[in-house]
Structure 1
């Protein structure tokens, strides 16, 4: 039986976070496993995410809860708080209450920051997502906020989706302790508006125009005689819909799809 620290995060990301963040790929920026006695520090965390945007923070607890947050804004060296991030959401990937992976968005924007960072000199705290969690170093319990339902549209799921079986309450902060076993940060690579693919067969431009128009406004270019086709969508939303059907496209055209 796999331990809780052996989840296949690649599969979770591919199955859920690529779609949720409108992305086609990702890169790992940061991993900290408390079981290896790596002390989590604000300094190492800040250095990993500085200058980056489209960040997924995944938190894994020793009790099998896997949850996190998405930050679409770019993190600068001077960033202490992220406000007004229209793409922000939090999510559950694994939990002990049989709720399938899903995202939660803010009830009202702008009341609280969506991400708080500490200075490199801070020895106790790493980061927090107001309304969701406060992550500390590996030698101090982290917290899940009990007021989650007040901040996020949770459809009645409640804060327990992140910390069931870990409900030791810290009265001073109105939060529940959670024992963090790992933190991982990924940068998501966005789907743009263009794809290139190779057809293993004969398809004329008219039939391709007709087929891809169902996804939105798309300009089809035939590239040379080797079967390469370039799809240029007028907006990323339509391109994303097309990309989500990539398996069907590969089956239909006998092709591979390349995002550029």
Structure 2
């Protein structure tokens, strides 16, 4: 804009653009849009898009975003090697395992371990987790926490959830004798099958937006295909354009 306003150097630009007296500034388009109003502005926009479509300047196959990227301190939170199995992990023979853990804790109740957490884990089932690192050294497969609980003194009126948990693990009578109950601290269980003795959990490290983590986008050369790209620690951009 500085060159356009120059009396000598900007003369050619002004003549080419048709500016004779008043030179537009940065706020001219914004003021024009505000004067038109939202409804008329959208109507003009769709008319222009239809003209571009008839001229085959746009095909509606790719939606491109144009914006400014701002560096941030944002970090990705979640497992890098998640797969389709992480949404519903089936763990068998879990009820008997938890029952033995609770009974063991009851037998050691005199060791002041009443408030200690009882954590139950299962091995990570992801097929994408690497067996070895870049140096060829074996990588220990992580474990997924199913749930965590602790034993606590019960009140006269035990909540239904705590009572059902004790009944599920078959330790309700033992807990009532000592005036205790099971307090659930954390749980990732989504389904329980007491008949076949297995539960289904959702991995707590599974990211909420899996597509964003993988970096799925349309192939610029072939809109019918998708390609993968690595995520970047930057955000920004709010305007869209059709191409």
Superposition TM-score tier, normalisation by shorter sequence: under 0.3
Higher helix content, 1 or 2: 2
Give TM-score scaled by structure 2 length: 0.20
Larger radius of gyration between Structure 1 and Structure 2: 2
Give TM-score scaled by structure 1 length: 0.19
